[in-house]
Chain A
Amino acid sequence: MIRVRSLSKTYYVHKKAPGLMGSVRSLFVRKKTPKDAVKAVSLDVAEGEILGLVGPNGAGKTTLVKMLAGIIFPTSGEASVLGHTPWERDNEFRRQIALIMGQKAQLWWDLPAADCFLLLKEIYRIPDEKYAENLEYLSTVLDVKKDLNVQVRRLSLGERMKMELIAALLHEPRVVFLDEPTIGLDLTAQRAIRDFILEYRERHKPAMILTSHYMEDIERLCKRIVIIQDGAFIYDGQLDDVVKTYAKRKVITAHLRKQDGSLPERRELERFGEVLEETDLQVRLSVERPRVAEASGYLLENLPVADLAIDETDVGTIIEQIFQERREQAE
């Protein structure tokens, strides 16, 4: 449903020297420097798939989403969404997509959401019956039926976001772009929106691209992710495989029974890896994958272990490590 090949976007930005002289100089001479926001990226997204786009601020996530939604023109490359070139913006394409931006409101601030939905019904030419059915379904699942006639500005952030989702999905789009849909929401609202997105995916099978800084969004909603940094993809694959590919270590936690004797020398433990914690009740080691069995055996043999857990490093930490390593390499 979404096909992207070698898509790039370069902005030209001018840099001003600091101070008054810099401002005066920039009045007459401006040197524009190119900034590659997206660098020759390629991807495919299938029907019913939720692709997670992960990256730090300024990585190019939103630029990519906006190109695919037809908002901005690329510098080069190709993209096809539902068989249409997005930036040609033909109505048939725009009728079948939706864009939800957590940081920008599409609803009219001073009006009840129900009024805005009527306008959208007209814009998307939604038949009366379909409109009533979809509004009933969406407002029930999102639990905002009672708030439909309340002015948007009087709603809480979470309720507003739910109304934004209804506004975006009333016309049953086949492709949905979600740009940080849970930003700023409390945990309950975040969970409600995640549950809703999954429910909606089950029911309508749209292709979705999700960008989020919250790893919980990504872990809960996406099987496949793309990691983007400085405009380039550095990983495109299954979320689970990120751990296998990049997590070189595991964390072993040994919960200990009460004991009289002393713990092994720290040096002994450090033979296996990094000692994260060492108390009378618990020992935690970060160990390279090939040495996990050996280290576990040592702990079981030499300590009064009541329970032993071996954990993967969480995805968020791994991704952060990847960014950090690449930043250091670049410097």
Chain B
Amino acid sequence: MTRYARLYAYFLRFSFSRAMEFRLDFFFRIFMDALWYGVNLAFFWVLYRHSGLLGGWNFDQTLIFAAGVFVADGFHMTVFANNMWMFPILVNKGDLDYYLVRPVSSLFFISLRDFAANSFLNLLMALGVLAWALIRYPEPVGLDRIAIYLALMGVGFFINYTIHLLFLVPVFWMHSGEGLRDIFFTLGSYSNRPDGIYRGWIRRFLTTILPFAIMVSFPTRVLFGGNVGEILLHMGIVAAVAFGVLLLFWRLGLRAYGSASS
């Protein structure tokens, strides 16, 4: 475990060194994400001018939820997104070869090799928005609830990564992952809205099979008195099953990997 932590420290170091080389991209990303945060906050602000509650949450609660969405997005963009973007290219060009001959987990290498240092400032910005939303929340929220919220957000990040990679793994067989990647991003927008707005079978689907609706909403529920045990169990089971399925498909994918001729 400590070896993997040391390896990740190298990835961080390399990624920061590289990001500094491309200054324009560095500032452009910050601008783009700030714009996205603004558009999302404005969206909820407009909605609450016409309704007092949305999926059972008032504006202050939804503001915390939205800040959580920014943090989840910032985390995914910083830690995983570049790696996910590269993965189909590595498979199709046969560049996975060198990852497979190393005595470390290929899944670890593929998933975490590139840390998007230029998105890191956005993550900090999103955490700032979250802190602001929590501070301005009119009712008291215990520190224990905040700690559980943050831990569950971590589980949500993990589920998001797992599902994202599950949408990409078929590239081993299909060789073109663009369609599935687009579906993932479309479905991903379901995690940007409070889960309370989904009803019936759509809700069941989005909280179990493709659990986009639980990633940020469920941790946020803990802050407003949600049942911690129930939420913890639900998210824990979803995370374990999703990761188990990912490992299975990863192994099958590597069996099907044909590399590319040189």
Contact = CB atoms under 8 A, between A and B. Distances in A.
B21 A70 contact: no
Chain A, interface residues (CB within 8 Å), range: 35 or more
A106 B98 contact: yes
B17 A110 contact: yes
Contact of B100 (A71, A92, A124, A179): A71
Contact of B98 (A97, A104, A115, A118): A104
B258 A94 contact: no
B262 interface: yes
Interface of B: 3, 6-7, 10, 13-14, 17-18, 21, 94-98, 100-104, 255, 257-259, 261-262
14 contacts: A63-B261, A66-B259, A73-B257, A94-B103, A98-B101, A99-B98, A102-B262, A106-B98, A108-B14, A110-B18, A110-B21, A125-B3, A179-B262, A180-B262
B103 A71 contact: no
Contacts of A101: 97, 262
B21 to A, nearest CB: 6
A118 B98 CA distance: 16
A62 B14 contact: no
A38 B259 CA distance: 15
A95 to B, nearest CB: 4
The 4 closest A-B pairs by CB, nearest first: A91-B103, A94-B103, A106-B98, A95-B103
Contacts of A89: 100
Contact of B259 (A72, A98, A119, A122): A72
Interface string A234-253: 00000000000000000000
Interface string A79-123: 000000000010110110111011110101011000100110011
A69 B94 CA distance: 14
A62 B260 CA distance: 9
A240 B15 CA distance: 51
A104 B96 CA distance: 10
Nearest to A121: B10
Interface string A25-65: 00000000000000000000000000000000010001100
A92 B261 CA distance: 27
A11 interface: yes
Contacts of B259: 66, 71-72
B262 A119 contact: no
Interface in A254-275: none
B10 A124 contact: no
B10 A119 contact: yes
Contact of A103 (B102, B104, B257, B262): B262
A91 B94 CA distance: 21
Given A94-B102, A115-B14, A73 B255 contact: yes
B173 to A, nearest CB: 11
Given A72-B259, A179-B262, A119 B98 contact: no
B262 A122 contact: no
A110 B6 CA distance: 20
A108 B13 CA distance: 12
A72 B95 CA distance: 13
B94 A122 contact: no
A62 B100 CA distance: 15
B210 to A, nearest CB: 26
Contacts of B261: 58, 62-63
Nearest to A99: B101
Contact of B14 (A71, A98, A119): A119
Most buried by A among B14, B21, B102, B262: B262
Contacts of B14: 108, 111, 115, 119
A95 B3 CA distance: 15
B133 to A, nearest CB: 37
Nearest to A65: B262
A96 B22 CA distance: 37
Contacts of A97: 101
Contact of A104 (B7, B18, B21, B94): B94
A11 B258 contact: yes
A70 B101 contact: yes
Given A99-B97, A99-B101, A111-B17, A122 B257 contact: no
Nearest to B97: A71
Nearest to B98: A106
A133 B101 CA distance: 23
Among A104, A111, A179, max chain B CB count under 10 A is at A104
A118 B104 CA distance: 15
A71 B21 CA distance: 33
A119 B258 contact: no
Contacts of B100: 69-71, 89
A104 B262 contact: yes
A122 B103 contact: no
Nearest to A124: B103
B62 to A, nearest CB: 42
B7 A123 contact: yes
B21 A72 contact: no
Contacts of A104: 94-95, 97-98, 262
Contacts of A110: 17-18, 21
A180 B261 CA distance: 12
Contact of B10 (A73, A94, A106, A122): A122
